[in-house]
Structure formats: structure tokens, C-alpha cells
Homo-oligomer: A and B are copies of this chain.
Amino acid sequence: MKTAAILGGGVIGGGWAARFLLMGWDVRVFDPDPEAERKINEVLANARNSYPGLFDFALPEEGQLSFHQTISDAVSGAVWVQESVPERLELKKKLYQTAQAAMAEDAILASSTSGFTPSQLQDCATRPEQIVVAHPFNPVYLLPLVELVGSDKSAPGLIDKAADILSSLSMYPLKVRGEIDAHIADRFLEAVWREALWLVKDGIATTEEIDEAIRMGFGLRWAQMGLFETYRIAGGEAGMKHFLAQFGPALKWPWTKLMDVPDLTDDLVNMIADQSDAQSGQHSIRELEAIRDTNLVSMLRALKAKNAGAGALIAQADQLLKPDPGPENAPMLTARRTVPVDWTDYNGHMNEARYLHAFADATDRFMEIFGADADYIARGGSYFTVETHIRHLDEVLAGQQISITTQCLNGQGKKLHVFHEMRVGETLVATGEHFLLHVSLETRRASPPVSPVAETLSRIAEAHAKLPPPDGSGKLG
């Protein structure tokens, strides 16, 4: 069994706990804060609402969460120990000494630090070789980035091993090539933060105006391409060198006040806090978290549909989550998934179009099962839907797990006639009956499927023909 220890709860530690738990790991928490259990459970509730819906297939069964009174107890049996305590080197030193006395020598001791280098942390340790920096970003359960930093004291292969584990959590381990203060991303965040403080202090923009300047403009660019690829496009066919030549002189212009840092006087602190209240004060932090998570899930799923950026990672994870369809002589399991937060509508339940979305995905999965997979389609054969009949039998809510079983009613020649039953638990919530024709993607006309797809489908169809016709079928044609 895979076990992780979380040393230090709070928003970051809780986010780590959620990633591990929802990916099927057992999680053992140490945090002396009497509020730690409540705090972690709040983060976990947010994560359960949002994270499973990123995937088109159900996640493994959630692991066990336990709270422990001592560090030694918490790290017992853990293969990954994640430290997320406040940024005080003395505190980390004490914690590492105790943890390393009890934890396995081949386990990974990772720090969420944004402020310290691996070497600084390793100087605190009994066994420097098992320490890495694994710096995540809030919300840890939705944002994939982890900056992974080692030093020459890290054990050979440790970074690769850590990267593999992080990848299995559908995270994006970015191996940082050198040890510097603040790693990579926080360098950018810090630069922008300083600039923002000046803009507020000088009365050029309020906190809200700054947020709009970001999210109405370059924030959208950066969410999917980052900085250099965006500028590569700006350079046009002339290329990156041309862009650099064009933009180069601007580096000498006085476009930044970053040579200096504004003092956080009481006046400036109050100004920022007041502006932030005016901007966002109508929402509680819980509401803001829910808005943020819904937006992130919506955008990540949008990117996934195009196999782009952070969405491509989730598409990869999907490949490993597909459930076994079961034997051919019974309706086959073609979907088991969590309804995402972006699938609901003004009625507070899954929108009707998402029923067909789920059924269409189930048809795709069934096609994959009988061999009409991505490779087959790339070779020029596919199925087009001609007719669909859906019965909505019950409401489905975001966060519920739906499963779909598929019975093939006809699979001879060009024809594919399937009947899907969608359930929440044992309750039948919808049926979808679909008639498709095999086509050539070149001529866009009906054509017979190619071997061995034709034979496999025909075999399954014959096995399913022995089953009774499903209740509610027979509406097409």
C-alpha cells in the first residue's frame, strides 16, 4: 500500500493530503495545531468537489486519512514524507531530525518550501541524501506544477524517483536545473507582486483594476502557452531572434520601478486591504475558493479537450484510469466517472447535453474496446452517429459518480446500434440508444469496417444478441 506522511497541515499540507488520498494513497498527518483536522478536512472537501471531475474515468478508491500525535508515528511506513511547515530553518531542522530517526531510509523527504534551497535544508538533516524540494502551488489539488529541486548531496536517482511519484498524482514535476532563491515561478510572482504594490501605492490602479488587467489579457495567454511561446508568435515568421531584436531596446527603458521596494507602511496595508474588500468582500473565502475551483476545472477540462497545456496531463492520466469493460457476454462497462462541477446548469443538476456527452464518450470507449480506437481512426475509418434517443429518468448532481453499461443491439456490416444505461449507484438515471454508421473519413460516406474491427464487433454483437432487449430500447429507425 502506498502511504504518504504530511508534516504540517494548513492549505498547502491539506492540498498535498488531498492529492495523495484521492489518488488512492493512505495519508498520515502530523500537525500540532488543534485546528489541523478541521482545516485539512475543509481543503479535502474542496478537493473532492473539484478534482475527480477533471478526469473522464473514476479515480481509484480513496485512501485512509489518519491524524497522529507524533512525527515518528506519522512517518511510519511512509514512502513519501511532505514537509509544509512555516519558513523557519530552526523549525525544519528539528522536524527533519525527528522524522529521519523514524522514517525509512529509502523514503523521500520532500519540502514545500518556497524560500530555501535543498542545500540549506540538507544542512539540517541527518541524511541529506533523501531530501528534495517539491514546491507546489495553491490549490495543490488542482494546479499540476511542482518545482522539484535537488543538490549534489541528493541520492542518485532520487529526483527521477520523486518525479515518477508526482507524475502518478497527475502533477507536473519541473526539474529545476540549479539551486536559486525562490526557484522559478516565485521569481515571477515576486517581480509582479512588487510591481503591483507600486501601482497601488502610486494610485495608478486599484487591486481590482490590476486583477482585470491580468485576467482580461495576458493571464489567458499564460494559462495555455506561457511567456516564450506567446512571444514566439508575436515575432511572427521572422522568429524569436527578430522578436528579441525588436523588444531588446525596451529593456533599457524605465518601465519598472523594481530597482526599489515600496515600504509596507500601515497606510499602504490599509489601502490594499480596503481595495481588496471593495473588490471581493461580497464573497467569503469559501465562496471564492469554490468560484476559483469551478473556473479552474472548467478551464482545465477545456484544455484537456484540446490536449493542450495542463489539460494534456489530465488526458494522459485518463488513459490509466479506464475501467475494465468486463466480459463480452454481458453489457460492458464503458464509463465510470465523476460529474464535473462545470457540467451543471441553472437547474442545479447535470445539463441534458452532458448526458449525451457522457453517452458519446461511452460510445467512443466501446469503439475502442472493439478496436475502432485512435490508431484505427487515424487510418481513416470511424463511426458517425445517425440517430439518438435519450430518456432522462432521474436528476444527476455534480460530484456524483455515474457508470454506463453498453449493450450492442447490432454490429453487423456498417451498422452499429448500441444501448447505454447510466446509473448512479444502482439507480438507473438515463438511457441512450444510438445508431451509428461506419464511414470512410476520406469520402465521408458509409463504408464497411476493416479487419479485425468488423470481426471483433460482430462477435460482441452476437454475444449481446443472446441477452434480453433492454427496457426502453427499440425507439430508433
Q: What is A's interface to B at a CB cutoff of 8 Å?
A: 11, 115, 137-138, 142-145, 147, 172, 174, 176-178, 180-182, 184-197, 199, 202-205, 207-230, 232-237, 239-241, 244-245, 247-248, 250-256, 258-259, 261, 264, 269-270, 272-273, 275-277, 279-280, 284-285, 288-289, 291-292, 294-296, 298-303, 305-306, 308-310, 313, 342, 346-348, 351-357, 359-360, 374, 377, 382, 384-392, 395, 441, 444, 475
Complex Cα distance A444/B394, Å?
Answer: 10
> A258 touches which one: B197, B259, B303, B388 (CB < 8 A)?
B259
For the complex, would chain A's binding face be called helix, strand, loop or mixed by DSSP majority? helix
For the complex formed, measure the closest distance between the CB of A315 and the CB atoms of chain B, giving whole angstroms: 12
Interchain CB contact (< 8 A) of A236 among B11, B239, B291? B11
**Contact assessment for A352 and B233 in the assembled complex, using a CB-CB cutoff below 8 Å:** no
Chain B hits for A182, CB < 8 A:
253, 255-256
Question: Are B253 and A115 within 8 A (Cβ)?
Answer: yes
A347 touches B298 (CB 8 A): no
Closest to A343 in B: B305
CB distance from A269 to the nearest CB of B (A): 5
Chain B residues with CB below 8 A from A218, complex form:
137, 143, 185, 188-189, 222
For residue A270, which residues in chain B have a CB less than 8 angstroms away from its CB? 241
**Assuming A239-B273, A388-B388, what are 17 further A-B pairs, CB within 8 angstroms?**
A174-B213, A187-B199, A187-B256, A191-B194, A211-B226, A216-B310, A225-B295, A228-B272, A232-B285, A235-B285, A241-B273, A244-B272, A251-B264, A301-B302, A302-B302, A387-B391, A388-B392
Query: Known contacts being A205-B176, A387-B392, is A276 close to B219, with CB within 8 Å?
Result: no
| Closest partner residue, chain B, to A296 (CB atom) | B220
Are A347 and B212 interface neighbours, CB within 8 A?
Answer: no
A385: B residues at CB distance < 8 A: 352, 392
Which residues does chain B contribute within 8 Å of A258, judged by CB atoms?
191, 194, 256, 258-259
Contact A209 B174, beta carbon cutoff 8 Å: yes
Is A174 touching B216 in the complex (CB atoms < 8 A)? yes
Task: State the CA gap A391–B385 with chains docked (Å).
Answer: 9
Can you name 9 A-B pairs with beta carbons within 8 Å? Answer: A144-B216, A188-B196, A190-B255, A191-B192, A211-B226, A229-B279, A229-B280, A299-B302, A387-B391
Among B189, B210, B352, contact of A226 (Cβ-Cβ < 8 Å): B210
Q: How far is the CB of A210 from chain B (nearest CB, A)?
A: 6
- Which residues from chain B contact A269 at a C-beta distance below 8 Å? 241, 244-245
CB atoms of A174 and B212 under 8 A apart: yes
Partner of A227, one of B193, B303, B347, B353: B193
Q: A11-B234, A212-B174, A391-B386 are in contact. Are A223 and B229 (CB under 8 A)?
A: no
Closest to A301 in B: B302
- Tell me whether A292 and B227 are in contact in the complex, defined as CB-CB below 8 angstroms, given that A115-B253, A188-B192, A384-B347 are known contacts: no
In the bound assembly, the distance between CA atoms of A180 and B272 in angstroms comes to 20
**Would A205 and B186 count as touching, CB distance under 8 A?**
no
In the bound complex, how far is the Cα of B214 from the Cα of A298, in angstroms? 18
Question: In angstroms, how far is the closest chain B Cβ from the Cβ of A309?
Answer: 5
Is A202 touching B215 in the complex (CB atoms < 8 A)? no
A443→B178 CA distance, assembly (Å): 60
Question: Please, how many angstroms separate the alpha-carbon atoms of A237 and B387 in the complex?
Answer: 52
A43 to chain B, nearest CB (A): 11
Most buried by B among A195, A219, A291: A219
- Give the residues in chain B near A359, CB-CB below 8 Å: 353
With A and B bound together, what is the CA distance between A297 and B407 in angstroms?
36
Q: Which residue of B lies closest to A357 (CB)?
A: B353
Central interface residue in A144, A272, A353, by most chain B CB within 10 Å? A353
CA distance A234 to B43 in the complex (A): 12
A259 touches B256 (CB 8 A): no
Contacting pair A240 B203 (CB below 8 A): no
When distances are taken between beta carbons in the complex, the residues of chain B under 8 Å from A143 are 216-218, 220-221
Q: Are the CB atoms of A227 and B210 closer together than 8 Å? A: yes
A208–chain B nearest beta-carbon distance, Å: 7
A390: contacting residue among B187, B229, B234, B387, CB under 8 A: B387
Given A234-B11, A300-B220, A305-B342, decide whether A172 and B256 contact each other with a Cβ distance below 8 A.
Answer: no
A137–B276 Cα gap in the complex (Å)? Answer: 25
Closest beta carbon of chain B to A155's beta carbon, Å:
22
Give the CA-CA distance A296 to B225 in the complex, in Å: 10
Is the Cβ of B310 less than 8 Å from the Cβ of A306? no
Q: In the complex, what's the smallest C-beta–C-beta distance from A398 to chain B, in angstroms? A: 12
